[in-house]
Amino acid sequence: MEALRDRTIDQVGFGKLEQRQFRKKLIIEICFFAVLAFFLLFCGSSNKYVNIVQSGYLEDYGKEPLGIAFENNFIDPIWSYRQRDDEHLVVFKGKTYFYEKVVNMRIEFIVNEENESFSIKRFYLNDEPRNMLDFWSAMAVVYR
């Protein structure tokens, strides 16, 4: 019996099956969490207006969805929704580099529910309102 105790699991012969089952279970769990993270990141918003903006794109910058572009190029990106009067307003906030400085950027989008489109209402850098020329300059940095 002592000789059997001194042998490793692989030497006894039942360890490889358990290792394969463990690896299989680990791979399944990793895949599950990867899919879950994808849906939470890109489809997980419970608000259809936020989803419209996240899945939309800026024509001048190709077909990359804003959700992906912003998540990849901003620090601490936050999407929110609020309704004001008859406007559906989606607000994006995040930090990014602009002219070699870290800035807080806020973009307000108005969503048209009928045709599932949006337009930019306001643009802020460090809580200061900016014009559309600054907005397009910032987008050139984001989409570089």
Report domain extents, the chain. Answer: 2-41, 46-142
Q: Which two tokens stand for residue 59?
A: 């024509």
Cross-strand bridge partners of residue 95: 75, 104
Model confidence at 8, pLDDT cuts 50, 70, 90, reads low
Model confidence at 141, pLDDT cuts 50, 70, 90, reads confident
106-129 pLDDT, tens digit each: 999 999 989 999 999 999 999 999
Answering whether pTM is above 0.85, one says no
87-107 pLDDT, tens digit each: 999 999 999 988 888 999 999
Asked whether the predicted pLDDT for residue 18 surpasses 70, the reply is yes
CA dihedral 20, 25, 28, 30 (to 10 degrees): -100
